[in-house]
Structure 1
């Protein structure tokens, strides 16, 4: 189950979904940074995160509180998004686009209110953990989309039986087995990202 050769081989199979995931994220980033249609909703999302940050800042150990919250929030959502992708892969797509839009809107808002210099500073603060966190979330969503496609195929084979009618069961079983080491890898990656975000990223952001 945890043979690296098999894991790497499955990642190659997943490459089209992972690539599509990055396209969706960056498309969301562009929309969030250039389109004001969703500004009220995105402001609410950022405001909610700000309220959580204030609450955590008041704890006895803010650094530890931030680290635990960031890790649990990202890990639970990522694992959830892999398997909730069974709903035709729609939720992972929405999740990726929304996250991209939030980042894009944040950068645009900072640049508009404080200038491009501060926006560059925000980017520097996002980079240390973002280079781990964003790919991990994209991969989780890619697996969610793949799961949705598999179940959509299975549904199609039930409605229109054919010579491939018996393939869905083994395909879904193989996917579920291969998803277990991916969940472990993503959990470790997101733990590392949470540690970096609550320490190094905070330090970079305060420079």
Structure 2
């Protein structure tokens, strides 16, 4: 845990920037819910989510829900980290799109139920999102950091700063496994909470 906290502190600026970007995207998604909803439908995003929900509803057991939720979230977060090597574009886009989706979902649900969106956020998103969202934000932050390091490394080769580049790469690569383990545990805990809620509702 000490090593994980150290790894997070070392990238606190990137994590803070990623968190703010996610929050701004969610707000914009909420404000522009109608137009974004149509765009997400056209892109097939809702269809994929509905298929995942249908799989859980067909067999709403704890283990089935846990496996599906954990695997989907793990694949998404680790993809943001790994594909960040391409100059950080993928984690940036994933963070923005997921934030916007959250805003759209809150707006649609609030409109349909008449509930306060803040109350919906607290009661429906935060029970599992308290662990899941930080894991996603940290994954995206490290993905963007990885992309920046690639760009900086190329520039270092041009100007002749190979030693400094190598040292910073070594430091980053030492932190990444620790962060990945933390993400694995956070997502597992989040999936367990969500699966428990799904099982209780199904009964």
Q: Following superposition of structure 1 onto structure 2, how do residues 72-111 of structure 1 map, counting pairs within 5 Å?
A: 72-111=71-110
Aligned pair in 2 of structure 1 residues 118, 145: CA closer, same or farther (>3 Å)? closer
2:175 to 160, 173, 178: 178
List per-residue Cα deviations over 1:30-71 (Å, max 9, x = no partner). Answer: 121111332213344233212221122213x53321110111
Q: Following superposition of structure 1 onto structure 2, how do residues 40-55 of structure 1 map, counting pairs within 5 Å?
A: 40-43=38-41, 44-55=44-55
| Cross-structure match for 2:193 | 196
List per-residue Cα deviations over 1:180-205 (Å, max 9, x = no partner). Answer: 011011101100100001113664x7
Distance 2:3 2:120 in 1: 40
Q: CA deviation at 1:102?
A: 0.8
Aligned length: 199
Distance 1:201 1:121 in 2: 16
Unaligned runs of 5+ in 2: none
Q: TM-score, normalised by structure 2?
A: 0.88
Query: Is the contact between residue 42 and residue 101 of structure 1 (CA under 8 Å) also seen in structure 2?
Result: no
Distance 1:58 1:5 in 2: 42
| Cross-structure match for 2:36 | 38
Aligned-residue Cα RMSD (Å) equals 2.2
List per-residue Cα deviations over 1:152-197 (Å, max 9, x = no partner). Answer: 1011122x323x2322222222211210011011101100100001
| Cross-structure match for 1:23 | 20
| Cross-structure match for 2:58 | 58
Distance 1:152 1:53 in 2: 39
Runs of 4 or more, structure 1, over 4 Å off, are none
Query: Is the contact between residue 29 and residue 99 of structure 2 (CA under 8 Å) also seen in structure 1?
Result: yes
Aligned pair in 2 of structure 1 residues 31, 11: CA closer, same or farther (>3 Å)? same
Query: Is the contact between residue 81 and residue 91 of structure 1 (CA under 8 Å) also seen in structure 2?
Result: yes
